[in-house]
Structure 1
Amino acid sequence: MKFLKDKSIFDKSIKFKMVLPIFLGIIGVLFSLLVPLNFKKIIDSISQGINIDFKVFLIIFVLILLQLFFQIFSDYWLQKIGISTVGEIRLKIISKVLSLRKSYFDSNLSGDVSSILVNDASALSYLLSTTIPSIINSVISVVLITLMLFYLRNLSIVIIVLFPIMFLIYLPIGRILSKVSLEYQDELGKFNHYSQFITTENNFIKTAATEKLEYKKGQKNVLNLMSIGIRQAKVFAITTPLFYTVTIFGALLTITYGIYLVQHNFLTLGSFVAYITLFIQILNPLSAIGDSFSHIRGIDGATKRIFSILNEDEEDIMLGNSNLEFSELNFKSVDFTYNTGEKNILNDVTFKCDVGKTISIVGPSGSGKTTIFSLIEQFYTIDGGKIYIDGQDISSISLNHLRSNIGYVSQQYPLILGTIRDNLVYGIKNKVISDNELIRVSKLTNFFEVIDKLPEGLNTFVGDKGVLLSEGQKQRLSVTRVLLLNPKILLLDEITSALDSYSEKVIQNTLEGFGKDKITIMIAHRLSTVKNSDFIIFLENGKITGIGNHEELYSKHDCINHLFRIN
Structure 2
Amino acid sequence: MAPINSEKQDGLKPFMRLIRSTGIPKAAFGSGIAGFLITTLVGLVIPLLTKELVDGFSLESLSPVLIAAIIAAFLIQTVIDGVSTYLLSYTGQKLVADLRGKMWRKLLRLPVSHFDGEASGGTVSRVVNDTGIVKELISNHVPQFISGLISIVGAVVLLLILDWQMTLVMLISIPVTMALMIPLGRRMAKISRGMQDETAAFSGSIQQTISEIRLMKASNAEEDEEKKGMAGILRLFDFGLREARINAVIGPLMGLIMWAVIAFIIVYGGVRVADGSMSTGTLVAFLLYLFQIVFPVTTFAMFFTQLQKAKGATERIIQILSLDPEPGQQGNRVDVSGLPITVENVSFSYLSGEPVLNGISFRANPGEMIAFAGPSGGGKSTMFALLERFYEPDSGTIRVGDTPITALSLESWRSQIGYVPQESAMMSGTIRDNLLYGIEQDHIPEEKIWLAADMAFASEFIRGFPDGLNTEIGERGIRLSGGQRQRIAIARAFLRDPKILMMDEATASLDSHSEGIVQEALQRLMAGRTTFAIAHRLSTIVDADRIVFIEGGQVTGIGTHRELFDSHPVYREYAEQQLI
Q: Using structure 2 for the length normalisation, give the TM-score.
A: 0.90
Q: Is the 8 A contact 1:44 1:268 kept in 2?
A: yes
Q: Which moved more, 1:399-408 or 1:287-296?
A: 287-296
Aligned to 2:405: 394
Which of 39, 43, 63 matches 2:73? 63
Aligned to 1:332: 344
Secondary structure of the 2:510 match is coil
Which of 416, 421, 431 matches 1:410? 421
Which of 215, 218, 227 matches 2:229? 218
How far residue 5 of structure 1 moved from its aligned partner, in angstroms, is 0.5
Pair 1:72 & 2:82 matched: yes
Q: Is the 8 A contact 2:125 2:203 kept in 1?
A: yes
How far residue 440 of structure 1 moved from its aligned partner, in angstroms, is 2.5
Q: Is the 8 A contact 1:377 1:403 kept in 2?
A: yes
Aligned to 1:315: 326
Q: Is the 8 A contact 1:120 1:303 kept in 2?
A: yes
Q: Which moved more, 1:500-509 or 1:99-108?
A: 500-509
* Alpha-carbon distance change, 270 to 425 in structure 1, aligned in 2, over 3 angstroms: same
C-alpha distance in 1 between matches for 2:156 and 2:573: 87
Residue type of the alignment partner of 2:340: E
How far residue 299 of structure 1 moved from its aligned partner, in angstroms, is 6.2
Q: Is the 8 A contact 1:346 1:541 kept in 2?
A: yes
User: Residues 506-541 of structure 1, C-alpha deviation per residue, up to 9 Å, x if partnerless?
Assistant: 544554454454321111122221111110000111
Pair 1:232 & 2:243 matched: yes
Aligned to 2:5: none
How far residue 4 of structure 1 moved from its aligned partner, in angstroms, is 4.3
Secondary structure of the 1:7 match is helix
Q: Is the 8 A contact 2:22 2:95 kept in 1?
A: no
C-alpha distance in 1 between matches for 2:19 and 2:173: 38
Matched ranges for 1:370-389 at <5 A: 370-389=381-400
Matched ranges for 1:445-460 at <5 A: 445-460=456-471
Residue type of the alignment partner of 2:551: E
C-alpha distance in 2 between matches for 1:158 and 1:375: 75
* Alpha-carbon distance change, 13 to 83 in structure 1, aligned in 2, over 3 angstroms: closer
C-alpha distance in 2 between matches for 1:289 and 1:134: 8
* Alpha-carbon distance change, 381 to 429 in structure 1, aligned in 2, over 3 angstroms: same
How far residue 550 of structure 1 moved from its aligned partner, in angstroms, is 0.7
How far residue 8 of structure 1 moved from its aligned partner, in angstroms, is 6.1
Pair 1:82 & 2:92 matched: yes
Residue type of the alignment partner of 2:65: K
How far residue 105 of structure 1 moved from its aligned partner, in angstroms, is 0.6
Which of 65, 73, 93 matches 2:103? 93
User: Residues 440-476 of structure 1, C-alpha deviation per residue, up to 9 Å, x if partnerless?
Assistant: 3223333234324333322221111111112222122
* Alpha-carbon distance change, 311 to 267 in structure 1, aligned in 2, over 3 angstroms: farther
Which of 151, 155, 178 matches 1:145? 155
How far residue 72 of structure 1 moved from its aligned partner, in angstroms, is 2.0
Matched ranges for 1:174-253 at <5 A: 174-253=185-264
Pair 1:532 & 2:532 matched: no
Matched ranges for 1:289-368 at <5 A: 289-297=300-308, 301-315=312-326, 318-326=329-337, 327-340=339-352, 342-368=353-379
Pair 1:559 & 2:565 matched: no
Residue type of the alignment partner of 2:347: D
Residue type of the alignment partner of 1:168: A
C-alpha distance in 1 between matches for 2:574 and 2:336: 36
Residue type of the alignment partner of 2:84: S
How far residue 99 of structure 1 moved from its aligned partner, in angstroms, is 1.6
Which of 483, 503, 512 matches 1:472? 483
How far residue 236 of structure 1 moved from its aligned partner, in angstroms, is 1.6
Q: Which moved more, 1:360-369 or 1:22-31?
A: 22-31
How far residue 485 of structure 1 moved from its aligned partner, in angstroms, is 0.8
Secondary structure of the 1:348 match is strand
Secondary structure of the 2:397 match is strand
Q: Is the 8 A contact 1:181 1:299 kept in 2?
A: no
Q: Which moved more, 1:384-393 or 1:246-255?
A: 246-255
Q: Is the 8 A contact 2:490 2:522 kept in 1?
A: no
Pair 1:279 & 2:263 matched: no
C-alpha distance in 2 between matches for 1:40 and 1:201: 69
C-alpha distance in 2 between matches for 1:274 and 1:558: 100
Identity of aligned residues (%): 33
How far residue 166 of structure 1 moved from its aligned partner, in angstroms, is 2.6
Residue type of the alignment partner of 2:229: G
Q: Which runs of 4+ in 1 moved over 6 A?
A: none
C-alpha distance in 1 between matches for 2:177 and 2:309: 18
Q: Is the 8 A contact 2:483 2:514 kept in 1?
A: no
C-alpha distance in 1 between matches for 2:349 and 2:206: 32
Q: Is the 8 A contact 1:183 1:301 kept in 2?
A: no
Which of 493, 496, 501 matches 2:507? 496
Secondary structure of the 1:344 match is strand
Secondary structure of the 2:354 match is coil
C-alpha distance in 2 between matches for 1:51 and 1:436: 87
Secondary structure of the 2:501 match is strand
Aligned to 1:166: 177
Q: Is the 8 A contact 1:139 1:289 kept in 2?
A: no
Q: Is the 8 A contact 2:22 2:98 kept in 1?
A: no
Q: Is the 8 A contact 1:446 1:503 kept in 2?
A: no
How far residue 257 of structure 1 moved from its aligned partner, in angstroms, is 3.7
C-alpha distance in 2 between matches for 1:430 and 1:12: 32
Q: Which moved more, 1:381-390 or 1:51-60?
A: 51-60
C-alpha distance in 1 between matches for 2:427 and 2:85: 41
* Alpha-carbon distance change, 183 to 30 in structure 1, aligned in 2, over 3 angstroms: closer
How far residue 60 of structure 1 moved from its aligned partner, in angstroms, is 1.8
Which of 9, 26, 39 matches 1:28? 39
Secondary structure of the 2:25 match is helix
User: Residues 192-237 of structure 1, C-alpha deviation per residue, up to 9 Å, x if partnerless?
Assistant: 2222233222221221111111111111111111112111211221
Unpaired segments ≥5 residues, structure 2: 1-10
Aligned to 2:444: 433
Residue type of the alignment partner of 1:380: Y
C-alpha distance in 2 between matches for 1:497 and 1:12: 51
* Alpha-carbon distance change, 86 to 344 in structure 1, aligned in 2, over 3 angstroms: same
Residue type of the alignment partner of 2:151: S
C-alpha distance in 2 between matches for 1:444 and 1:50: 96
How far residue 40 of structure 1 moved from its aligned partner, in angstroms, is 2.0
C-alpha distance in 2 between matches for 1:452 and 1:74: 56
* Alpha-carbon distance change, 246 to 563 in structure 1, aligned in 2, over 3 angstroms: farther
Unpaired segments ≥5 residues, structure 1: none
C-alpha distance in 2 between matches for 1:212 and 1:273: 64
Residue type of the alignment partner of 1:163: I
C-alpha distance in 2 between matches for 1:85 and 1:46: 50
Q: Is the 8 A contact 2:549 2:556 kept in 1?
A: yes
C-alpha distance in 2 between matches for 1:223 and 1:566: 53
Aligned to 1:485: 496
Q: Which moved more, 1:267-276 or 1:88-97?
A: 267-276
Q: Is the 8 A contact 1:344 1:542 kept in 2?
A: yes
C-alpha distance in 2 between matches for 1:292 and 1:363: 61
